[in-house]
Every structure is written in C-alpha cells, then in structure tokens.
C-alpha cells in the first residue's frame, strides 16, 4: 500500500472515471509496469489483473483487506501488547484505529491475495504515475518472490517481520524514486532518507488519523518507507538493482539492520537471547500466556520516543542488540503481566535504558511506590496492577510488571539468575 503524499489529492472530491478515462489508466499501468521491470530487473512473469476503482470502492476494499489480514485473536494480541507497554490507553480499539489510519491516505494498492492492482480514479496524473510506480513494483516483487510467503516467513518474530516489510516497501519506494529521477543513479546520490522523511511528515499533517496517532504508530507507519528506502539506497551501492533480489531471498532478520544497513551488508552477526517462562508465574490461574515475541530496535526506538524524546530514542535505541518478552493476560480487562529481557551494546547503554525505563514506569503507573531495596541497578515498586521489578546486569536490562505480591521475591531471584 502506498499512502498519498499530496494534500490536494487527498482533499479532492470523489470522482468516477468515464470508460475512456478508465481505459487510459489501465493502459498507463501497463506502460509503468514495463518501466518498473526495466528499473528493478524483475521480469514480468505473467499478465496482471487490474481494476479502476472509485474512492468509496477503494475504502471498502481496504476495510475488507484489513479484516482478512488479521484474525480477531491477532488483533487482540497486538492491542494487548500495545496496552501492556503503555503505548495506548486501556480503552484503545486497535481494529477501529487501523481502518481509520490506513484508509484515509490510500491512493491505490496492489493486492497479493487477489493478485490484482487496484487503481484509484481520483489522483491527478503526476500523483497517479508515482502511485503506479510504487504499487506495480509490489506486483513484480510478488511475481518473482511471492510476497505473502516473504512477509509471513518470520511470522513469530515481529521485529524480523518489520524488517521484511521495510525491504518490500523500501524497494518499491526506491524504485518509484528512480522512475521519477530518470537516468540518474539513485545509489550514487546522497541519502534521500532525510528529505523523504520531511516531505512525508509535512504532507501527512493533512490526515487527522495520522496526525493524532501516538508517536509509536507514526514512526512504525513511516519506517518501512523512509528507513526502508535508505536501506535500499545502501544496497544499490553493493551491486545495483539486480543484486537487490538477494534481499528477498536472504532478508534481514532485525530492524537494526534497516536502521544500520552496514550490519546487514557487512554480515555482522547479532546475538540472540533466551527468555524462559518464569517459574514464579507457573500455576497462576488468573494469568494466561498471550504472546512471546521480540520488540526490536524499532519497538524500543518508538517506546523511548513516545515516552522520553526522539533524541533520547536515537541515542539509546541504537545500542539495542537483542530482546525477548513474554506477555501474560489477566482475567480482569486490560490487566497484564509483562516479562522482558534486553541486551545492549555496552553496560553504559544498558544503564541509560534502565534509567529511561524507570521514567517510563512512572508514566505508566502514577501511583508507583518504590521499595526500600531499590538502588542504582535495581528498582522495585508497587502499583495497582501488582509489583514491578527492574534490574540491570552488565549489558542487560530485565524487568517484570504486574507480578502478584506474594511472587515478587521469587521473580526477583529468577531475574537475577538469568
């Protein structure tokens, strides 16, 4: 999906293309598909189904697609994770938000499920070509690499999935830019990432759902396009467009590789850490394990940016090396137990994150009351949701939230033993 970047197009009244106009759009799509195949080096492997739709039809299609993409349980799990990390309120409705967030900007879409290019009939010609260049690159990606298999290839790892999405969207955005600038070598230009970020942020102020969304959502929505394109620009310096197919065959496994392309292109290994389920919560009938996942550099960048500042997020999150978390859901609405383990580039970075997360805990739990055992590398506190334990060990930070009072000592001992 490509978001509109032009307010004038977004504000234009709905229109219905005449048969002649629709035919011209279909012919333009065929022309642009050939251009994108030449740019990317991805061959056209078969005919492409194309439909011209009105604004109302595009919105209906997107609403249906969002409901098809995620099961109610997946939506519930993602919503619970956001609430547990304090990124949204207890009353937040993720499904409703996503429909508003993604349908207010869309100007066309390639559907990998239906193998169909949906062409919006209202954007002006200069915007229409940009949208087609981006979305038809997705069609080529799908014909050559099977986008659904690619995107779902790391389904149990949210950070790896976000990295794959950045490859997909960054590749399409870079191809769109290459189509726009003509013969100039995109890989030889200075990074266009800052310019792209500025343009998108400025234009998106015209969209209420985007402008009013928490920082977390805005960063994660733009990341695949902005940082993703920067990643692809670096990739172009390592062999040009045809060599980028390697990114789809051996994709990055973490968003850190998108933020810092040299980590991927120089083959630098990232550590892995384990997080077993804590014995202290075994047998707790009021809790059930809802998810086990990886937040990643993108997640911590967004978390610190929303609660602390963007500058602090850039300074600390870049030191992320590995993490895992386990989320337990209580029977009471919007009550959770969250267990997390993180590793950082140095003990100093881990200490900086420890201090930042202490600040975040104070935001999440206004009633937070510290325990006398708290010190430089350990914080223990009481909240209405249970005990909180935050611990730094060398280059690691570990914590537990929502721990039953009678299990707090056992949880502390277990965290210290990891």
pLDDT tens digit sequence for 200-228: 777 666 778 888 889 999 999 999 999 99
Considering the domain architecture, whether residues 199 and 330 belong to the same structural domain is answered as no
Is the CB of residue 321 less than 8 Å from the CB of residue 271?
yes
Q: Where are the beta strands (DSSP E) in 131-228?
A: none
Considering the domain architecture, whether residues 341 and 283 belong to the same structural domain is answered as yes
- Residue range(s) defining the domain that contains residue 230: 7-265
Instruction: List, as one string, the DSSP characters of 319-365.
Output: TEEEEEEEEEEESSTT-EEEEEEEEESSHHHHHHHHHHHHHHHHHH-
Separation CA 176–CA 131 (nearest Å)? 8
Distance set, CA 72 to CA 67, 94, 95, 315, 354 (Å)? 8, 11, 9, 36, 34
Considering the domain architecture, whether residues 204 and 316 belong to the same structural domain is answered as no
- Residue 184 contacts by C-beta under 8 Å, 6 or more apart in sequence? none
Whether 36 is covered by a domain: the verdict is: yes
Considering the domain architecture, whether residues 394 and 364 belong to the same structural domain is answered as yes
Separation CA 415–CA 166 (nearest Å)? 34
- Per the structure, the count of domains in the chain is 2
Q: How confident is the model over 45-58, as a mean pLDDT?
A: 91
pTM of the model: 0.94
What confidence tens digit (pLDDT) does each residue in 60-86 have?
A: 888 888 888 888 999 999 999 999 999
- Residue 146 contacts by C-beta under 8 Å, 6 or more apart in sequence? none
Res. 7: pLDDT tops 50: no
Whether 250 is covered by a domain: the verdict is: yes
- pLDDT > 70 fraction of the chain, expressed in percent and rounded: 95
Containing 108, the helix (H) or strand (E) segment is strand 108-111
Whether 78 is covered by a domain: the verdict is: yes
In 155-192, which ranges are continuous DSSP H helix? 158-181
Identify the domain boundary among 208, 232, 265.
Answer: 265
Considering the domain architecture, whether residues 197 and 69 belong to the same structural domain is answered as yes
What confidence tens digit (pLDDT) does each residue in 297-355 have?
A: 999 999 999 999 999 999 999 999 999 999 999 988 889 999 999 999 999 999 999 99
Whether 363 is covered by a domain: the verdict is: yes
What confidence tens digit (pLDDT) does each residue in 128-185 have?
A: 999 999 999 999 999 999 999 999 999 899 999 999 999 999 999 999 999 999 999 9
Q: How much is the mean pLDDT over the chain?
A: 91
């Amino acid at each position: 999906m490509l978001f509109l970047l032009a307010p004038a197009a977004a504000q234009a009244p709905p229109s219905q293309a005449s048969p002649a106009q629709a035919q011209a759009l279909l012919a333009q799509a065929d022309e642009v598909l050939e251009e994108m195949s030449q740019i990317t080096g991805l061959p056209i492997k078969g005919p492409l189904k194309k439909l011209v739709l009105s604004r109302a039809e595009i919105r209906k299609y997107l609403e249906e697609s969002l409901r098809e993409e995620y099961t109610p349980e997946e939506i519930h799990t993602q919503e619970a994770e956001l609430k547990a990390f304090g990124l949204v309120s207890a009353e937040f409705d993720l499904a409703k938000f996503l429909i508003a967030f993604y349908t207010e900007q869309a100007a066309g879409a390639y559907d990998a499920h239906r193998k169909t290019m949906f062409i919006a009939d209202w954007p002006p010609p200069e915007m229409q070509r940009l949208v087609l260049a981006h979305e038809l690159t997705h069609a080529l990606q799908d014909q050559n690499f099977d986008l659904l298999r690619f995107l779902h290839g790391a389904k149990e790892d949210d950070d790896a999935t976000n990295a794959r999405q950045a490859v997909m969207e960054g590749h399409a955005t870079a191809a769109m830019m290459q189509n726009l600038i003509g013969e100039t070598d995109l890989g030889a230009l200075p990074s266009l990432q800052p310019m792209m970020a500025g343009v998108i942020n400025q234009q998106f102020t015209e969209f209420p759902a985007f402008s009013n969304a928490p920082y977390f959502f805005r960063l994660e929505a733009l990341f695949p396009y902005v940082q993703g394109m920067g990643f692809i620009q670096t990739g172009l310096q390592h062999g040009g467009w045809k060599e980028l197919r390697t990114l789809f065959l051996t994709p990055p496994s973490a968003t850190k590789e998108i933020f810092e392309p040299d980590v991927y292109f120089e083959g630098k290994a990232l550590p892995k850490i384990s997080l077993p389920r804590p014995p202290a919560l075994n047998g707790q009938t009021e809790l059930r394990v809802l998810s086990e996942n990886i937040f990643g550099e993108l997640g911590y960048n967004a978390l610190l940016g929303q609660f602390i500042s963007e500058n602090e997020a850039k300074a600390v999150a870049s030191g992320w090396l590995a993490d895992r978390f386990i989320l337990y859901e209580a029977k009471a609405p919007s009550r959770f137990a969250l267990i997390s383990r993180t590793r950082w580039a140095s003990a100093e970075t881990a200490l900086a994150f420890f201090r930042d997360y202490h600040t975040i805990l104070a935001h999440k739990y206004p009633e937070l009351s510290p325990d006398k055992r708290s010190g430089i590398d350990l914080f223990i506190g009481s909240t209405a949701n249970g005990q909180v334990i935050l611990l730094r060990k060398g280059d690691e930070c570990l914590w537990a939230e929502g721990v039953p009072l009678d299990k707090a000592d056992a949880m502390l001992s277990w965290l210290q033993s990891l």
